[in-house]
Chains A and B, each alone.
Chain A
Amino acid sequence: MKNYILMLLLTVMPFSGIFAQEEEVKDKPVRAPFASGYLIDNQTTMIPIKGTLEFAIQHKFGTIENGKSDFFGIYAPAANIRLALDYVFFKNFQAGIGLSKERMYTDLNAKWTILEQTRENTIPVAVALYGVVAIDGRNESAFGTGKTWHSGEGKTEFDFNFPDRLSYFSQLIIGRKFNHWLSLQTGVSFTHYNLVDPEFDHDKIGLHFNGRINFSPQSSFIFNYDAPLKIQQISEQLEVPPHHQSNVSFGVEIATSTHAFQIYMGNSKGIIPQDIMMWNSNKFSWENLAFGFTITRIWNF
């Protein structure tokens, strides 16, 4: 996998150089294609100015299926929450850390916006790379039977090691601000879990599509669609295993000088991207929708 990332970087880097030279002809980047680096549970190509510290609170309630009895999921025990901090170290490069309740994930993430869309279309799209390494912090006993090897002579249990807790998500995001009210993004991602139960796959490729429609100076309609792909060629199983539900979410974003508030409904319980791509088993249907919100606060130093 390291090689793939290296190859990707090597292929993209020379282009970024070429564009950087053209940029000197005073074609400035477009004004804020998105209000925040977060879009529901995805990332946008937008990175705030160097020296910005961002604090994010992401919360997903339980599904609305039980109606009034748990007030549409608000009282449900199945909530998930993530608290995260990230910092913009260089122009268009940020790195951060987050903690989520689900699987006690600790995630380390980085985002690099290689190209910014410009006003005169010298660069027609924004291109960003996003990577997340997550550590599953649960007790060893929660990891199931992934380390058991069944051979003809019986079964052998292997020791559980730290790397078994790790999972990776890498994503290429391409976005375009079409006009002052419409910004769209698409992306492709690769997810890898070091340890999964024997009936599952370790790898998953996914496609992403999301955007925002600005309807007032501060408010936008936002939506997001993540589709994990069923690809038999990369599956380790005779038939691609289940847990392949798309993540669909939609909501409203209100942005102020230092905050972005996003209130939405969606069908996945996970918050970090590898968890959504690999383990979302909630079909997109009315009763599987759950309320959620993402709030970000930025400070400039």
Chain B
Amino acid sequence: MKKGKIKFLTYPLVVLFSGILLAAFVSPTESTETLDNWDIPAKYKEMKNPHAGDKSLDRVGKMLYAKHCKSCHGNVGLGDGPKAASMTAHMIPFNDAKFQAQTDGEIYYQSIIGMDEMPNFEKKIPDEEDRWALINFVRSLK
């Protein structure tokens, strides 16, 4: 009788564990994330980067990235910083071709104006030149 009971429990448990085991190998839903949910105003899309290619700003961009972005976006922008795990949004890696295909103005809007979990940095990085320095750095992470 007892044996039967255990057997009765065994099958569901085996199914459950094998299910969990299999689930571990299934990669999480492929990033549907994307840049589609960004509704970027035309004003930003057409924005020109007045400091594009300005090498003198390299260090500034790097410093700003380390201070403001690294904790979520990770050392090289893969979206794997220490805070990333606790976020609901999935961060697109900066080396993604789709991300890099955007205009500087679009990256400016995403980086400085933000949306949902991506905070607004207008007050934290008030200087226009510094903002472009940061965008130049993000561009370099391809």
Contacts and interface: CB of A to CB of B under 8 A. Distances in A.
Contacts of B59: 180
B67 A256 contact: yes
B60 A31 contact: yes
B139 interface: no
A183 to B, nearest CB: 14
A67 interface: no
Contacts of A28: 127, 129
Contact of A300 (B62, B67, B124, B127): B124
Q: Is the interface of A mostly helix, strand, loop or mixed?
A: loop
Contacts of A257: 67-68, 71, 124
Nearest to B129: A28
A282 B61 CA distance: 44
Contact of A256 (B60, B63, B65, B71): B71
Contacts of B65: 217
What is the size category of the interface that chain A forms with chain B?
A: 10 to 19
A297 B33 CA distance: 31
Contact of A255 (B60, B67, B123, B127): B67
A49 interface: yes
Interface string A250-268: 0000011110000000000
Interface string B94-114: 000000000000000000000
Interface of A: 28, 31, 49, 51-52, 180, 216-218, 255-258, 300
8 contacts: A31-B130, A49-B123, A217-B63, A217-B66, A218-B66, A257-B71, A258-B124, A300-B123
